[in-house]
Amino acid sequence: MAGHFEALPGGGAAVALDEVEISILRSLAVQLLELIGPGEEPAKGEDPLAALFTEGPSEPPADPALARLFPDAYGEPGSEDPDEELREHCAEFRRYTENDLRTRKRDDALAVVRSLDALTAAGEGGAVLKLTAQDSLHWLGALNDLRLTIGTRLEVADEDESGELYRLPDADPRKPMVMAYLWLGALQETLVETLMP
């Protein structure tokens, strides 16, 4: 089980983590929460259903990592000159969906933090994290968001999956982030395998 998720009987998944891994995962999830930003709490006395119809932003985020987490719905991201009608469709879609998407991503990252905080040490500085099927889905979403964010910061391109970034010398300041990116990918892959029938 060390280093990868394994399926639990009856659904869910488990992984053995040492103190350093727990600390790294928690730190990355907290940083993701900070990047996504705080949620909007309904004002006292406000109808909770009204929050469902609150309009969100209409422009894509300026931060490339946020733009990757909240991409335009239509067309190619970053296309040089999208036509006006396409731009209007993207703005309208974003206005009615981004708040919900942010809430879901925030919930996923919070689930990671909470499950790591609830771990009981298994001796020798480690613990076994056991997730329910629902928690596994939150973890899968958060691992994906973390990889997208780190990949954007590292400027990893889809076509460069086996490129020079993976052969960086140890002295390169990007090396720890590349190692985290690869490790999160392995965790994500094994978690997906546990969820497959």
Contact between 132 and 138 (Cβ < 8 Å): no
User: pLDDT band at residue 72, thresholds of 50, 70 and 90?
Assistant: confident
Average pLDDT, the chain: 85
pLDDT tens-digit readout, 131-149: 999 999 999 999 999 999 9
pLDDT tens-digit readout, 114-129: 999 998 755 566 799 9
- What's the rounded Cα separation, in Å, for the pair 24 and 145? 15
What's at 58, amino acid-wise? S
* Residue 45 reports pLDDT greater than 80: no
Closest of 161, 163, 160, 155 to residue 185, by C-alpha = 161
Give this prediction's pTM: 0.84
